[in-house]
Amino acid sequence: MSLMYVSTRNANEKVTASQAILKGLADKGGLFVPTEIPKLDVSFDKLKNMSYQETAYEVMKLLLTDFTEEELKNCINRAYDDKFDTEEIAPLTKADGAYFLELFHGATIAFKDMALSILPHLMITSARKNNVKNDIVILTATSGDTGKAALAGFADVEGTKIIVFYPKGGVSPIQEKQMVTQKGDNTHVIGINGNFDEAQTGVKKMFTNEALAKELSSKGYQFSSANSINIGRLVPQIVYYVYSYAKLLENEEIKDGESINIVVPTGNFGNILAAFYAKNMGLPVKKLICASNENKVLFDFFESGVYDKNREFKLTSSPSMDILISSNLERLIYRIAGEDAEKNSALMQSLISEGKYEITDEMKSKLGDFYGNWCSEEETAETIKSIYEDTGYIIDTHTAVAAGVYRKYRKETGDDTKTVIASTASPFKFTRSVMTAIDPSYDSKGDFELVDELSRIGNVEVPNAIEEIRTAPVRHNTVVDTADMEKAVKAFLEI
């Protein structure tokens, strides 16, 4: 039986999984959601002996039903290989009364690799299945992390090209170095004289420019998006929650059927939504704990039922969570609205016109799976420092927001259910913030000095992703004005 995907804003727009992956966003700005959430059809007694790749197949086959077994296994094996620096792909580390699920062992040492290493393969397989002959051109605007993870995922994948725009001067020096040294003949990185919003606006303009689409098509190209609202990113993220439960079982940390809590440092609401889907597929989960930084729009939403983005935007030490519009929350809103596309559309319209919306009491009563809280900058730094001092384990700033929120949750509720914390980035990616949290005097040192010092005091090897950029030659040095973004795309595609 084939599982279909429907738009959160139009009950009549139904597509297959492969069409949803190719399309990315539904018409009128809707997001694709599965018409039902399938149940896992293999026992944890079996899952506990499976590899990450085998687990991925058991989960993804239920959600991407128009892929054949061979197609799906092929995508999985190409994605989860020695690009990851650990055999387990997503290992668990026990510390501070919880299990840290390390999702940062891929090519760019952040959790976005978990999905972006398989998305290119899902996308070209989808193109083939739907008789798309054009090459796929991925167009992305990035504030740092997504761009590099997408570049690494799509580099040298046949039938694709990828163009990433970033705000020149608006990303960290390590992030910029990671991008401009990117290898692969099909990759192109362009700095713009402008901020992230301007980069994003320029990209959106190209996506909706019909004349440009026609011109591209006549030359054998079409645009697609690697944005986190693509279900091809969401589905692979469900896998590691199932995998972590199976490993806890295998290691006899929990009993079969025992419930766990999951804590997720949250920005766009993609990662925690994947955990919610895992729960609905049958994973025994008690609470989904949503951790925010000072941009605590989600905490306020879970408290009051009002989502309100009208507030000051704060720059924090966990920049990948500096978000005021959590796009993937729409999928949860749609669900608690009784899968009513009209109701959901009205709320999203209110978000566009007034910057806020309020859910009904009935909808609010369906949020019992979730607990929200947040950490200030001081609390985040304090969490890094105290976990390091107590256990020797060094976590990054995003993970620290989650660990700090988990401490608050424990104190508030007394709940001692075994808990998995999604560890979303390597501390080496945010070295300066991490090291100055441990000792402010580190701030006088250079970036790579800090890398070596982190390696020494944490007793962990410097990851390849960092080693590489110490000496890698710059391959991309194009910088353009925002008005010339389209020209730059055409130049790269030679059209």
Q: Does 244 bind ligand PLP (CB under 6 A)?
A: no
**Binding span for ligand PLP by CB under 6 A among 126-134, 186-194, 268-276, 480-488:** 268-276
Q: Does 404 bind ligand PLP (CB under 6 A)?
A: no
Q: How far is CA 104 from CA 109, 260, 327, 341, 378, in A?
A: 4, 22, 23, 36, 24
Q: How far is CA 204 from the centre of its chain?
A: 20
Q: Does 398 bind ligand PLP (CB under 6 A)?
A: yes
Give, to the nearest 10 degrees, the angle between helix 69-79 and helix 52-63: 140
Q: Is the dihedral of CA 467, 473, 475, 476 positive or negative?
A: positive
Distance from the first to the final alpha carbon of the chain: 43
Q: Which one from 48, 112, 129, 429 is the annotated catalytic residue?
A: 112
Return the residue of 320, 380, 433, 455 that touches ligand PLP, per CB under 6 A. 320
Return the residue of 145, 198, 294, 377 that touches ligand PLP, per CB under 6 A. 145
**Binding span for ligand PLP by CB under 6 A among 119-127, 260-268, 294-302, 448-456:** 260-268
DSSP state, residue 274: H
Least Cβ distance, residue 111 to ligand PLP (angstroms): 6
Strand order in the sheet with 221-224: 221-224, 135-141, 160-167, 187-193, 478-481
Least Cβ distance, residue 185 to ligand PLP (angstroms): 27
Active site residue 112: yes
Q: Which is nearer to ligand PLP, 67 or 111 (CB)?
A: 111
DSSP letters spanning 238-271: HHHHHHHHHHHHHTTSS-TT--EEEEEE-SSSHH
Q: Does 268 bind ligand PLP (CB under 6 A)?
A: yes
Return the residue of 21, 110, 115, 341 that touches ligand PLP, per CB under 6 A. 110
Q: Does 375 bind ligand PLP (CB under 6 A)?
A: no
Bridge-based pairing state of the strands 135-141 and 306-308? unpaired
Q: How far is CA 444 from the centre of its chain?
A: 32
Spatial contact of 124 and 186, defined as CB atoms under 8 Å apart? no
Return the residue of 55, 117, 140, 271 that touches ligand PLP, per CB under 6 A. 271
Q: Which is nearer to ligand PLP, 16 or 318 (CB)?
A: 318
Least Cβ distance, residue 264 to ligand PLP (angstroms): 7
DSSP letters spanning 352-368: HHHSEEE--HHHHGGGT
Least Cβ distance, residue 145 to ligand PLP (angstroms): 4
DSSP state, residue 117: T
Return the residue of 105, 112, 161, 335 that touches ligand PLP, per CB under 6 A. 112
Residues near ligand PLP (CB under 6 A) are: 110-112, 145, 228, 265-271, 320-321, 398, 424-425
Catalytic residue annotation: 112
